[in-house]
């Protein structure tokens, strides 16, 4: 299992994802190259998610009931923030969008 607390590993993961995205963009006229780049990126994401899930399970096993509730609340807040960021501002002004992100906390 990877140590996702290591910032160097996170940076390497991000750089690899950027290289795969660049590859897919550079070879837009080659479906096989795009398929390979996208498949590799999705596989890496899946492995990352699997490792993070395992880490989360291991971490939560050592928590008391109250600590586990706080951990789940934090996880829920992070998920909500991720959804808001992925949705983007939509028709809201940048100020309204920042306010909605702040209100989610």
**Structural domain range at position 84:** 64-105
- Determine the pLDDT at residue 1: 45
Instruction: Indicate whether 6 and 28 sit together in one domain.
Output: yes
Cβ atoms of 44 and 13 within 8 Å: the answer is yes
**pTM (2 d.p.):** 0.46
Residues (pLDDT < 70) of the chain are 1-7, 9-11, 47-48, 105
Instruction: Indicate whether 95 and 48 sit together in one domain.
Output: no
- Determine the pLDDT at residue 6: 59
- Determine the pLDDT at residue 92: 86
Task: Provide the number of structural domains found in the chain.
Answer: 2
Cβ atoms of 62 and 34 within 8 Å: the answer is no
Instruction: Indicate whether 56 and 68 sit together in one domain.
Output: no
Instruction: Indicate whether 50 and 71 sit together in one domain.
Output: no
Instruction: Indicate whether 43 and 70 sit together in one domain.
Output: no
Instruction: Indicate whether 49 and 32 sit together in one domain.
Output: yes
pLDDT digits (tens, 9 = 90+) for 76-85: 888 888 888 8
Instruction: Indicate whether 55 and 81 sit together in one domain.
Output: no
């Amino acid at each position: 299992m990877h140590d996702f607390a290591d910032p160097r590993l996170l940076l390497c993961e991000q750089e690899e994802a950027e290289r795969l995205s660049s590859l897919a963009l550079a070879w837009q006229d080659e479906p096989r190259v795009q398929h390979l780049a996208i498949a590799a990126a999705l596989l890496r994401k899946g492995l990352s998610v699997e490792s993070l899930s395992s880490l989360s399970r291991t971490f939560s096993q050592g928590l008391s009931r109250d600590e586990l509730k706080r951990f789940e609340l934090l996880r829920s807040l992070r998920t909500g923030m991720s959804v808001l960021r992925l949705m983007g501002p939509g028709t809201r002004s940048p100020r309204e969008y920042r306010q909605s992100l702040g209100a989610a906390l």
